[in-house]
Structure 1
Amino acid sequence: MTNVLVVKANNRPDGVSTSMYNTFIEEAAKVEGLNLSTFDVFEENLEYFGQELFNAFGKAQAGEELTTREARSLEAFNKSREALTAADLVVFAFPLWNMTIPAALQSFIDYTYGAGYSFKYNEQGQLVSLMTDKKYIVLNARGGIYSTPETAPMDMSANYINAVIGGVYGMEKVGEVIIEGHASSQNDAPAIIAAGLEQVKQLAQGLAVKA
């Protein structure tokens, strides 16, 4: 059984990446041997990563009472890492918003991006990835075009996830579907979205081989 964690990072019902998530879940549910679970970063309402977490570590070790925010931060830390640890394959379904990823997804990254957990430094000070046994998939939607040589550096959503999950955590990317241009080319939007969702279907259907 392959444990598939789908990180859903769009709370807009009509969002294109929401449709990508829904399509993936529907198709992947038909594939035998997959144990699907969703970590909805908006539903989880993760406390923002910050000093409250480090306060919580110290207080918990000393047996002291935590504030509400400290307790929420520690809970977010534990839930995020427990979900990621249990996964064999992680699917990120997210939009590009304002040139980057949604803040709620950033919180999930912040809680799982940690020395000794997702990476470490060796004696020479070089970064060593600690999640090379896991795989990941990117499902991303962006209304403009960010795949040209001129615009690609401006995308800080898919590029960022690949840099962190693939580059730092060391997971192997086994699939990527990006739907783009549906806002800038509205006349073609239905066809653009339909073609992208078909790619999502095919990707999900192939999980029996890839996962």
Structure 2
Amino acid sequence: MKSLLFVNGCIREEESRTLVLARQFLNCLEGKYEVSEVSGLSIPLDLGALKKRDQLAAESKWEDPVFDQARRFKEADRIVLAAPFWEGTFPAAVHAYLEQVCVTGFTFGYREDGKAEGYCRADRAVFFSTRGGIYSGGENKKDDHAENFLTSIFRMLGIPRTDTVAAEGLDIIGNDVDAIMEQAAGRAKMLAVDF
């Protein structure tokens, strides 16, 4: 059975609308993948940790626990990442997690022409998010750094396709939050058909 890594970047845990949406998608995949979850993200990469990681990488000691998160990510057949939209992107803990996953020489490297080359197994990922405003179009589109950033990072890691399912306008007064969430859940279920 293929493996799916679920990166749960939902700080509000079970109260998170983003997590509700992602879990609905994962429920549609039941029996199709062996799912493992990364949650409780708070993986700081300070100077000491960075020096240790760099030294281990220079020695190609990829079995060290420092690379556990990168290894799990690298070996997954599919990736699902869920994170709320905060200040144009997502919570800092998700950024810190991605810093742990992006390891030169292990999850990606550079070719002679300077282009990045990903070494991760997954060929597809999906990003779930919920947003108080509307950022998929109009003037606010330029302020959505989450989707583009994540798609770029995943492509660098060797994942050519990243889909996004976002429920938007959830904090706009007068909007029907339940209806918006239902529409997003419908898109998630449709995506699950061929994921």
Into which bin does the TM-score normalised by the smaller protein fall? 0.7 to 0.9
What CA distance in whole angstroms lies between the structure 1 residues aligned with 2:140 and 2:23? 28
Aligned to 2:179: 191
What SS does the aligned partner of 2:24 have?
A: helix
- Aligned-pair distance for 1:152? 1.4
Moved over 4 A (4+): 57-61
What is the 5 A alignment of 1:140-179?
140-166=129-155, 168-173=156-161, 175-179=163-167
Aligned to 2:33: 34
What CA distance in whole angstroms lies between the structure 2 residues aligned with 1:145 and 1:55? 41
Aligned to 1:50: 46
Contact 1:132 1:172 in 2 (8 A): no
What runs of 5+ residues in structure 1 fail to find an aligned partner? 62-73
- Aligned-pair distance for 1:21? 2.2
What CA distance in whole angstroms lies between the structure 1 residues aligned with 2:98 and 2:165? 20
What is the 5 A alignment of 1:125-144?
125-131=114-120, 133-144=122-133
Q: What TM-score comes out, normalization by structure 1 length?
A: 0.78
What CA distance in whole angstroms lies between the structure 2 residues aligned with 1:116 and 1:79? 15
What runs of 5+ residues in structure 2 fail to find an aligned partner? 58-63
- Aligned-pair distance for 1:187? 2.9
What CA distance in whole angstroms lies between the structure 1 residues aligned with 2:82 and 2:119? 23
Contact 2:85 2:131 in 1 (8 A): yes
Q: 1:81/1:194 Cα in 2 relative to 1: closer, same or farther (>3 Å)?
A: same
- Equivalent residue in structure 2 for 1:116, among 105, 117, 120: 105
- Aligned-pair distance for 1:58? 7.5
What CA distance in whole angstroms lies between the structure 1 residues aligned with 2:98 and 2:186? 28
Bigger radius of gyration, 1 or 2? 1
- Aligned-pair distance for 1:125? 2.3
Does the alignment pair 1:5 with 2:1?
Answer: no
- Aligned-pair distance for 1:142? 1.1
- Aligned-pair distance for 1:118? 2.7
What CA distance in whole angstroms lies between the structure 2 residues aligned with 1:187 and 1:126? 44
What CA distance in whole angstroms lies between the structure 1 residues aligned with 2:102 and 2:53? 16
Aligned to 2:60: none
Q: How many residues end up aligned between the 2 structures?
A: 188
What SS does the aligned partner of 1:151 have?
A: helix
